Amino acid sequence: MPSLNEIRDEIHAEKDADYDGVRHKYLQELSRHTGRNVIAYYSGWLNNPDYAETAINDIDKNSFMATIYNLDRSKGLDLILHTPGGQISATESIVNYLHSMFDGDIRAIIPQIAMSAGTMIACSCNSIIMGKHSNLGPIDPQFGGLPAGAVIEEFEEALKQIKKDPDTVPLWQTIIGKYHPTFLGECEKAISWSDEIVKDWLVSCMLKDKDNKENIADTIVSGLSNHSETKTHSRHIHMEQCKDLGLHIIDLEDDQVLQDLVLSVHHSYMVAFSDISGIMKIVENQNEIRNIQRQNIPQ
């Protein structure tokens, strides 16, 4: 398996760096190995953490439409995910579109990290391929960087403390007063929305052949969305923890060729994001159909 530096050397072997060609080479080899379509959905948020364009949004639907066009959809889809997450509404729309195109025959591949809404997309697939280096993340919604679950916990703590000691009212008024009147209700609805759609996807796809699929889905959703247990939205959930929750995880290390190809693909993207400034996102398939989203610079 080529290392990150070896992939970088391969890209820069000629005078003009061949970023696209090397990525396509490994995507094509991966597709030949599995006999399935491959779409890589890569965000550059690790190199551009302060840009909203790196998150999952409705623009991504166009990228998926372009990369799915003319594919033989009977081969199913291996969806490589590397993303910090993003909008629940866009995620729900993208998942519904992907399922309508591939009739649920979708495997998620996580070379490194798929957080938040990226985890939600992975849960909508019939299986998730992870390695010892792979991580999913909590699915609890965020509002302006504030975790919705933490807001509700804080409000409930305020009620408890005020009931216990009314003299704490001025203190809690200062803390709770920073939220606008409908904010608590919005947080509750967002949590319910996220939990419901992930459970529906699990029951209808990944767990559809399980006798106790409803209970397993409830356990998975609770484990991924309970802010009091995950502690922070940036929590990295490892492969074995995902298995313990009940997710259908396939060990990447069980197929050495698959592992080598997936990591070669991953390294080729990491080099591109590292070397080329302004790339927010790359979505492409094994047929070299790609959509590259760049930083939106105001004129």
Q: How many domains does the chain have?
A: 1
Structure tokens given for 220:
């998975």
Pure H helices in 69-147: 88-102, 117-123
Residue 219 lies in a domain: no
What percent of the chain stands above pLDDT 70?
97
Is residue 157 domain-resident? no
pLDDT at 154: 73
Q: Model confidence over 57-70: pLDDT tens digits? A: 999 999 999 999 99
Q: Which residue has the higher pLDDT, 172 or 208?
A: 208
167 or 40, which is more confident: 40
**If you ran DSSP here, which 8-state letter would residue 278 be given?**
T
Model pTM score:
0.91
Does 207 reside within a domain?
Answer: no
Helix (H) or strand (E) holding 291: strand 290-294
Q: What is the pLDDT of residues 67-111, one digit of tens each?
A: 999 999 999 999 999 999 999 999 999 999 999 999 999 999 999
What is d(CA 114, CA 118) in angstroms, rounded to the nearest whole number? 5
Q: If pLDDT is split at 50, 70 and 90, which confidence band does 298 have?
A: very low
Q: Give 5: exposed, middle or buried? Use CB within 10 Å, 0-12, 13-18, 19+.
A: exposed
Q: Which domain holds residue 109?
A: 4-137+236-294
Residue 30: pLDDT band by 50, 70, 90 thresholds?
A: very high
Where residue 79 sits, what CATH number does that domain have?
A: 3.90.226
* Residue type at 159 in one-letter notation: L
Instruction: Evaluate whether residue 281 is within a structural domain.
Output: yes
DSSP state of 83: B
Q: Does residue 53 fall inside a structural domain? A: yes
Distance separating alpha carbons of residues 130 and 236, to the nearest angstrom: 13
Please write the tens of the pLDDT for every residue from 169-205.
777 777 777 777 777 788 888 889 999 999 999 999 9
The pLDDT tens digits for 235-282 are: 999 999 999 999 999 999 999 999 999 999 999 999 999 999 899 999
Yes or no: say if 71 and 284 are a contact pair by the CB < 8 Å rule. Answer: no
pLDDT of residue 174: 75
Structure confidence at residue 297 (pLDDT): 53
Tell me if residue 37 falls in helix, strand or coil.
strand
Q: Is residue 44 classed exposed, middle or buried when 0-12, 13-18 and 19+ CB atoms within 10 A define those classes?
A: buried
Question: Is residue 143 in a domain?
Answer: no
Residue 27 predicted with pLDDT over 90:
yes
pLDDT in tens, 116-129: 999 999 999 999 99
Backbone angles phi, psi at 292, to 5 degrees: -110, 120
Residues facing 84 on adjacent strands: none
Is 181 inside a domain boundary? no
- For residue 45, give both structure tokens: 């948020």
132 belongs to a structural domain: yes
Residue 214: pLDDT band (50, 70, 90) is very high
